[in-house]
Structure 1
């Protein structure tokens, strides 16, 4: 099953509309979708290394725009739904204390989530919920997502064929590591 998904993404990576698919996945992943854009970005670069910088740019732009949607979800859903519920439960002060603590480390939270497998959407929504300054959120999102996507693009551009050969030869191991990282990110989120 995973091998079929890999083969499908490799075919999609060379499709004329692959950049649009990447843009959509990058956008929705930043606010609510569980699958990271790397799943599409990596095979796209492996299939067309000459487009590595364009692919990374599309992922960056779409991801940051999607992060703005996540921020808006956090900002507006919390004000309309979350705060009254917490106040009714007598937890309004606890939420305010968490908000202050999160914003004290907000730059690092956004940077960490933007670069690592930690679900970026959680941080985008929390950033809006806690009222992190939008300028800090945007600057850090651009830095973090740019670093993540352009490092991946650079590595694949320079070492693409050996990486592709490794993935195809040891597909089971690569898929297992990806799943472990994905679930590790979800477990980390649930522990917060």
Structure 2
């Protein structure tokens, strides 16, 4: 499987920006290859265009998230019923409805499979506008952070990102979660006061 993924990566790399757009779009809804595998080498080989590549990756990823949302909206629930009980689907939906925006933001920024959250946003009837806004913020932050690292470190960025980026994004996701919980606590306190 890993060999096949590398073949697909190499093939997509030949298409440059179009390959980057495709993999970014597809990753947000159905494809197993993350756009980082093209964004990083393309950015390192052409650092003057790395911000443009980050922009293309963000836009395509958000457009793919919209497709994921439609997949969830139209097909998700009937398919899920074959895998898990309606009760469990409802429980996940309740959590997603309550914390959906933060779930989208965290999954968009971290290595958590983003496509699962875009599809669940559709299943849970999260407003499309909410998905788009938080996807732009999360995906943009992720891909422009990679671009900034490439701009600063040049060729060494690949090694740095491979060794540290997952931890950086997980820490970032944790910080977002802590800030959100603090916000909820303050909001609840103000309501009871």
TM-score surpassing 0.5? Answer: yes
Q: 2:106 aligns with which of 112, 121, 126?
A: 112
What are structure 2's unaligned runs of at least 5 residues? 168-193
Q: 2:73 aligns with which of 44, 53, 75?
A: 75
1:11-160 paired onto structure 2 within 5 Å: 17-78=15-76, 81-82=78-79, 91-160=85-154
Query: Counterparts of 2:12 and 2:30 in 1: how far apart (Å)?
Result: 23
Normalised TM-score (structure 1): 0.73
Q: CA deviation at 1:107?
A: 1.0
CA pair 63-12 structure 1, distance change in 2 beyond 3 A: closer
Moved more, 58-67 or 99-108: 99-108
Structure 1: which 4+ aligned runs deviate by more than 6 Å?
none
Query: Counterparts of 2:137 and 2:57 in 1: how far apart (Å)?
Result: 13
Normalised TM-score (structure 2): 0.73
Q: CA deviation at 1:93?
A: 4.3
Query: Counterparts of 2:156 and 2:81 in 1: how far apart (Å)?
Result: 55
What are structure 1's unaligned runs of at least 5 residues? 168-173, 182-192
Counterpart contact for 2:76–2:119, Cα < 8 Å: no
CA pair 12-98 structure 1, distance change in 2 beyond 3 A: closer
CA pair 47-128 structure 1, distance change in 2 beyond 3 A: same
Query: Counterparts of 2:120 and 2:80 in 1: how far apart (Å)?
Result: 13
Residue equivalent to 1:190: none
Q: CA deviation at 1:145?
A: 0.3
Query: What is the RMSD of the two structures over their aligned residues, measured on CA atoms?
Result: 3.0
Count of residues in correspondence between the two structures: 161
Query: Counterparts of 1:140 and 1:51 in 2: how far apart (Å)?
Result: 25
- Which secondary structure state, in structure 2, belongs to the residue aligned with residue 31 of structure 1? coil
